[in-house]
Amino acid sequence: MIDETKIMQYADGTLPEDEKETVKKAIESDPQLRKLLKDYQATGEMLFNLGKEIKSQPLPSSLQKKLKIINKERERSSDGIKSFIFFRIPKIAYAGIAATFAFILYSVFQTTAPLVVDNINDGSILRTGAILKKFEITESVSDPGEGMLNTEDFKIFYDEYLTLYNFEKTIDEKNSKNKFIKKIKKMTKAAFKGQDAKTIHAKWKNSVFWITNPTNDINDDEIMLGGGGIGSGSLIDKNGLILTNWHVIKNANQVWVYPYPKDPSKGLQMDKVTDAEKFLAIVVAKNKKTDLALVQITGFSKRITPVPLGIGDKIETGEKVFAIGHPAFYGWDITDGIVRGIVPNYEWNYGKPPKEGEKFDHTATVMRSSAEIEGGSSGGPLFNEKGRMIGINNMGEIGSNNINFAIVVKHAQELIKNKEQPGIKATATVEPLTEKILRQKYPNLWTDDYSQNGVIDTWYVDTNNNGIGDTIYTDDDEDGLIEAIYIDKDEDNSPEIRLFDTDLDGRPDEKLIDRDDQNDDVKWDAVAVDIDQDGTWDKVQDIPKS
């Protein structure tokens, strides 16, 4: 018996040479196959003509424009010549550039709040009064706006610092031997006495969160089913911004965030806090290069104080540091150590090193510290003795004698500033699917309580209106957010596709496929993931049969 597809290939002229003779003989001897051949020839011709005619249509203007751009790009890349951009600026723009330079120069020698954050990092600014004045903070903060760093905290801190510093300096200048002055001097020094681990933990544990990322992970190019990461993060702003590592929130648009438990006496291990109060945090900014990200929560306790960023603190080798995080599933762990060294523009990868000719994934100024961290500490704060965050713990060197890395906090400042810029801001429209939204779309759906505990957890939808349900929405953890969609296109009561929205942003990011649906083995054969959540399945992988 000749397969029909062979006849089709014969009609199209795509059949391998060695099979042609057999197929030809079969067609000649069977009138039904001859008819089939004619049908295929006819549809082949139809499709060929259709393709030819549509392709012969002139391009609409929008695509013509695009083609022009492509042609220009192609010419440019084949030339290899790039003209110097400055000379392309129209003459009128020179005036604008000059004005900008003038404004910048003016700004540097005047008092502007953003410059405080920009320049205090050079370590020399607290040396002379003249420069101090340059960085004085005024009320005229240009953008106190939404989600930005809490400049009020900075202001209070610097005001205190400057007052005390100037006071001490005056005493020094007078070189007095007065006992009273000496006492004051001693008190001033006491105000700057370094804090110990106990104080830092007591003060800042509530501001450190536990982050779990539910999305699948890809390690060494392999999709890890049921993967997902855990990490730490610090509240840095009263609007709920939490600073963490990019690799902690990798692939997700939303992550779960757990605050310090209200009743810590039950224990702080991972399994003790997972059922506690948790927040769905939206990823609002990320920068893969510096391995940093910001997530935002709402509705958290206003008693939680944002961690002050030590952007202005000079990081010195040998100074004492403290790391808070959740190493190896133990929550709110604190370790201490010293800064072992600072490495500017350090390059690194998680997992495999880059292939020849490729760049490292991450580049940032980092510090090596001896404050121990482990998996789960990623994204957590590294405090200095003043109780300010100077680094974001990101990794330890495997096999080393306690060499741990933290990204210098000034990179966080870049991220916060760029929060609203395109390219860095997460683009997803984050809206978890709920029963309410589902009902607006499908008013005729019917429901089920699969777990039989009195809570509706399953919704059946008949998308093609033939009276048979073909799509099932489920909320297995019964938190009101639908996380999975089962599609049963052939309506045989055995779904062949499961779409899973692991980070609950309303966009499926994992697809399981049952390719041999007909045999009812109810086993998924392949998994696909949409890593960048752009609606395209980026990687498909067979699931090994167990």
Partner 1 sequence: MLEKIDENFIKRLRLIARGIARENCDPDELVNESVEYLLKNKNKYKNHPNPIALAVLKMKGLHIDFIRKNKNLTALTDQEEIGIDMDEKMEISLECKKVFEVIKKMGEKCQEILMLAADGMSMQEMQEITNVNSLGTVLSRLSNCRKELKGLMST
Contact footprint for partner 1 (CB under 8 A): 4-5, 8-9, 14, 39-40, 42-44, 46-51, 53-57, 59-60, 62-63, 66-67, 69-70, 73-74, 77, 429, 441-442, 463, 465, 507, 515, 525-526, 534-537, 540
Using the minimum distance from each CB to partner 1, give the nearer residue, 410 or 511. Answer: 511
Return the SS3 of 527: strand
The identity of residue 361, as a single letter, is D
**Residue 475 or 501 having the CB closest to partner 1:** 501
**Closest CB 84 distance from partner 1, rounded Å:** 22
CB 416 within 8 A of CB 424: no
Q: Are 237 and 149 in contact (CB under 8 A)?
A: yes
Of the two residues 471 and 474, which places its CB atom closer to partner 1 in the complex?
471
Q: What's the rounded Cα separation, in Å, for the pair 249 and 281?
A: 10
Nearer to partner 1, 311 or 484 (CB): 484
Question: Closest approach of Cβ 459 to partner 1, in Å?
Answer: 14
CA 165 to chain centroid: 40
Please state, as a whole number, how many other Cβ atoms lie within 10 Å of the Cβ of residue 54.
Answer: 8
14 or 175, CB closer to partner 1? 14
- b/e per residue, 372-384, with b = 16+ CB within 10 A? bbbebbbbbbbbb
Considering the complex, state which of residue 174 and residue 288 has its C-beta at the smaller distance from partner 1. 288
DSSP state of 60: P
If the CB atoms of residues 37 and 412 are measured against partner 1, the closer one turns out to be 37
Give min distance, CB of 394 to partner 1, in A. Answer: 25
The Cα 377–Cα 527 span in angstroms is 30
Distance CA 307, CA 238 (A): 10
Residue 313: C-alpha distances to residues 47, 160, 278, 372 (Å): 70, 15, 33, 22
Work out how close the CB of 11 gets to partner 1 at its nearest, in angstroms, rounded to a whole number: 9
Looking at beta carbons only, is 55 or 262 nearer to partner 1? Answer: 55
Strand duo 362-369 + 471-474: pairing: unpaired
- Residue keyed to tokens 């005619």: 53
* Complete DSSP assignment for 169-189: HHHHHHT---HHHHHHHHHHH
Q: Considering the complex, what minimum distance in angstroms separates the CB of residue 121 from partner 1?
A: 33
Q: CB nearer to partner 1: give 74 or 182.
A: 74
325's CB contacts (< 8 A; 6+ apart) are 208, 231, 232, 333, 373, 376, 377, 378, 379, 380, 381, 393
Residue where the block lists tokens 């603190």: 313
Please give the C-alpha separations between residue 49 and each of 41, 43, 44, in angstroms, as whole numbers. 12, 10, 9
Please report how close the Cβ of residue 215 comes to partner 1 at its closest, in angstroms.
18
Q: How far is the CB of 67 from partner 1 (least distance, A)?
A: 6
Look at residue 309 and give its three-state secondary structure: strand
Considering the complex, what minimum distance in angstroms separates the CB of residue 97 from partner 1?
A: 28
Compute φ and ψ for 414, nearest 5 degrees.
Answer: -60, -40
Token pair listed for 351: 């997992």
CA separation for the pair 234, 320 (Å, rounded): 20
Distance of closest approach, residue 216 Cβ to partner 1, in angstroms: 18
Give the residue with the Cβ less far from partner 1, 74 or 183: 74
Structural contact between residues 379 and 211, judged by C-beta atoms closer than 8 angstroms:
yes
Shortest reach from residue 527's CB to partner 1, in Å: 13
Residue with Cβ nearer partner 1 (330 or 442): 442
Q: Please, what is the minimum distance in Å from the beta carbon of residue 105 to partner 1?
A: 36
Angstrom distance (rounded) from CA 207 to CA 249: 18
